[in-house]
Amino acid sequence: MKLLPVSCNKDCGAGCPLLAHVDDSGKIIKITDNPQGPPRSQGCIKGYNMHKALHAEDRIKTPLIRTGQRGSGQFREASWKEALDITAGMLEKIRDTYGPTSLLGMGGGGACRGVVHNTLFLPLRFFGLFGGFTLPSGSYSSAASSFVTAHTFGTRNVGLDPATLLNANLIILWGANISVTRFGCDLENYLQELKERGIPIVVIDPRKSRTVRKLATQWIPIYPGTDSAMMAAVLHVLLEERMIDRAFLEHYTNGFAELESYVCGVFDGIPKTPAWAAEICGTPQDTIRDLALRYGAAKPTALIPGLSIQRTLGGEEAYRMAFALQAATGNTGIPGGSSGGSVWGTMPRPRMPFPSFPSTSSQPSVPVCKWPDAILEGTEGGYPTDIKAIYSVGQNYLNQGSDIKKNIKAFEKVEYAICHEVIMTPTAQYCDVILPSTTFLEREDVIYSAGNHLFYSQKVVEPLYESRNDYDIFCELARRLGFYDEFSKNRSADEWLEFLLKASEVEDIEAFRLRGLYLGQDQNRVGLAEYINHPQANPLDTPSGKIELSAAASSVEGTRNHPACRITKPPPGYPLRLITPHAFARINSTEANRAWVQRLERKALWIHPDDAHKRGTADGDMVRISSPQGRMLTKAYVTGGIHTGVVCLPQGEWVRFNESGDEIGGSPNILTSTTPTLPSQGARTHSVFVEVTRA
């Protein structure tokens, strides 16, 4: 039996340090935590099951070429030579006929975060050298928060190392479901420790999430998309009770006066009181007031937002209000406090370069959540290019992008669609060529984690079936297209890794390889601490050099510069607010089809007993969910664990239709819309309005 350090590198950014237990025949028996990982780190069910995915029967085993209609699922097996020749021919034809930017280069949102085997960076390198492409810009995850973070702080390094949370007196998880979404391999365990020490942990969430059940000392239900209103009301109480740190605001921020006037109702005659917010948020005013009083008294307080609160219409404002609250209470940049910004991968990581890619700034781009619109409408619709081909690496955007019907039309419109995949996803079904990829257990790599560390992931088995590394696939295509030398620099993937490790800050590479862990020097970093400690020496890269609480650039045209509450109410006919959170046992849609994942996830619509009763629906009934975009059938899960007026369907299930055109696979993106939140152009998958009826 051998024990080999590996690292899960799924898109929760946890990058968990794990150990593969390999028997004498080379078979992986199980995957457990690597005891040499960083303090309090722990993997989860996703990583522990990776060997099942590795050996799963339904892996794509050979290259496949489509034979039936797009979406029919009819393919024939092909040799690598044939598949690569066909793919290179398609790329060449597109480049010669329409120019390279008619290719939509979709590199995985982050399906794989390896240094070499990286589904985001490798495609950018390839498409850049190909001559250009149309870039889906921003991310589904965090477009709105990234946008306002940059304008407010002038840096994205606003996170923290979780060890610093041990100094906190109060934790507010605002729409953050850490026990599921992780945001690092150790954050959950630090929060657990705080709970054991008696530190209150408040979770604000429309539903009783796993985090509410495991970590919370208080659950505050709220209507989705209304967080900025509750935050404004909290600020109102803090102002009224003189619990504001005026000196801190004066010293470190610009623009608070405007926000204060807004909160007090100077502009619109509406003071943003708890009574005002109670109706908007569906949360009792006493609960809001009590939260504010405890918040004001309990310094240091760490407010940790989920990304959920910004994947809403007006989600930019929720983040801006959170920044303002933390500054107004003097909690920014101190141990035990936080900036109010995202803590996920928002601190520098150890120096470890990756194969570089040509700058994407000169490429035509479309906001990622509008990719199907860009294909369907093209230059006539005001988009920069007419897209003729899709190249997708490590993503399932037909399913994961909003408005699946539109996505299908977009895939049907292009001349060619190509993907690298591990399993036959709904997106792969719509491709002309599918090139089978390896999983991380089949390759050697270093994994970027969410914290100040790196993980080494040894190759445990040789690539199974005929699968190949994405890197090797690109090399073969680059050879056919005439830029192999530039793309590969004549290095194999393993030679790249060696080369990059030598350029990294890791000194003892062999020890790193054997232990699986490299710890950066400082594990107690708080974002913005340098600025807070020495503001003159370290001004922020903002117009005032300070935290810009009222930045013109982060407001919508025609509105004021300060954070404001932009709340969308359910429109007539669609009275329920649907949220589509991330599921526990899988990452996004990856492996949603697998039996062991299905057993762990309830495929059903969460609905409150009052809402179910109004609709004559009982637990387990089939219900029809309708939105302006589409309709679907699923089972009802009637539970007091969700706010009235809100329903919940976890994202990621694979789309399937019955003969009447109803979605029956459980994929909520049949209901979502590509109309983004502005000005960030971010996805708003937690602002979906629906009606539910008994089917």
Contact 159, 527 (CB under 8 A): yes
Answer yes or no whether residue 113 interacts with ligand MGD by CB under 6 A.
Answer: no
Residue 97: CB minimum distance to Mo ion, A: 34
Closest to ligand MGD by CB, 182 or 236:
182
Answer yes or no whether residue 425 interacts with ligand MGD by CB under 6 A.
Answer: yes
Binding mask 670-689 for ligand MGD (x = CB under 6 A): --x------------xx---
- Dmax (CA) of the chain: 75
Binding mask 646-675 for ligand MGD (x = CB under 6 A): -----x----------------xx--x---
∠ at Cα 189 (325, 108), nearest 5°?
Answer: 80
Residue 111: CB minimum distance to ligand MGD, A: 4
513 binds, among Mo ion, ligand MGD, none (CB under 5 to 8 A by kind): none
- When binding is defined by CB under 6 A, the residue of 104, 180, 187, 231 that contacts ligand MGD is 180
Closest to ligand MGD by CB, 148 or 393:
393
Answer yes or no whether residue 441 interacts with ligand MGD by CB under 6 A.
Answer: no
- When binding is defined by CB under 6 A, the residue of 41, 101, 181, 627 that contacts ligand MGD is 181
- Beta-sheet strands, E only, within 287-388: 301-305, 365-367
- When binding is defined by CB under 6 A, the residue of 4, 12, 232, 604 that contacts ligand MGD is 12
Contact 449, 14 (CB under 8 A): yes
Closest to ligand MGD by CB, 204 or 501:
204
Which 247-306 residues touch ligand MGD, going by CB under 6 A?
Answer: 306
Give Cβ neighbours of residue 358 (< 8 Å, ≥ 6 apart).
Answer: 124, 125, 128, 129
10 Å Cβ neighbour count for 571? 9
- DSSP class per residue in 201-267: EEEE-SB--HHHHHH-SEEE---TT-HHHHHHHHHHHHHHTT---HHHHHHHEE-HHHHHHHHHTTT
Which H helix or E strand runs over 620? none
Output phi, psi for 514, to 5 deg: -80, -40
Closest to ligand MGD by CB, 393 or 576:
393
Q: Which among 424, 554, 575, 606 is positioned nearest to 56, based on CA atoms?
A: 424
Answer yes or no whether residue 222 interacts with ligand MGD by CB under 6 A.
Answer: yes
Answer yes or no whether residue 149 interacts with ligand MGD by CB under 6 A.
Answer: no
Residue 148: CB minimum distance to ligand MGD, A: 15
- When binding is defined by CB under 6 A, the residue of 51, 207, 453, 562 that contacts ligand MGD is 207
Answer yes or no whether residue 423 interacts with ligand MGD by CB under 6 A.
Answer: yes
Answer yes or no whether residue 332 interacts with Mo ion by CB under 5 A.
Answer: no
Q: Give the integer Cα–Cα distance in Å for 153 and 530.
A: 13
The length of the chain in residues reads 695
Give Cβ neighbours of residue 650 (< 8 Å, ≥ 6 apart).
Answer: 580, 581, 582, 583, 601, 668
- When binding is defined by CB under 6 A, the residue of 188, 245, 260, 421 that contacts ligand MGD is 421
| Tokens 């935590």 -> residue | 33
Answer yes or no whether residue 594 interacts with ligand MGD by CB under 6 A.
Answer: no
Contact 550, 259 (CB under 8 A): yes
63 binds, among ligand MGD, Mo ion, none (CB under 5 to 8 A by kind): none
430 binds, among Mo ion, ligand MGD, none (CB under 5 to 8 A by kind): none
Give Cβ neighbours of residue 564 (< 8 Å, ≥ 6 apart).
Answer: 228, 262, 317, 555
Q: Give the integer Cα–Cα distance in Å for 578 and 597.
A: 23
Residue 114: CB minimum distance to Mo ion, A: 17
Answer yes or no whether residue 394 interacts with ligand MGD by CB under 6 A.
Answer: yes
Residue 269: CB minimum distance to ligand MGD, A: 27
Closest to ligand MGD by CB, 132 or 581:
581
Q: Give the integer Cα–Cα distance in Å for 312 and 145.
A: 11
Which 123-152 residues touch Mo ion, going by CB under 5 A?
Answer: 141
Give Cβ neighbours of residue 482 (< 8 Å, ≥ 6 apart).
Answer: none
Contact 587, 16 (CB under 8 A): no
Q: Which among 398, 443, 428, 400 is positioned nearest to 54, based on CA atoms?
A: 443
309 binds, among Mo ion, ligand MGD, none (CB under 5 to 8 A by kind): ligand MGD
- Site residues for ligand MGD per CB under 6 A: 11-12, 108-109, 111-112, 119, 140-141, 174-177, 180-182, 204-207, 209, 222, 224-225, 227, 306-309, 311-312, 393-397, 400, 420-423, 425, 437, 439, 470, 579-584, 587-590, 651, 668-669, 672, 685-686
Binding site for Mo ion (CB under 5 A): 141
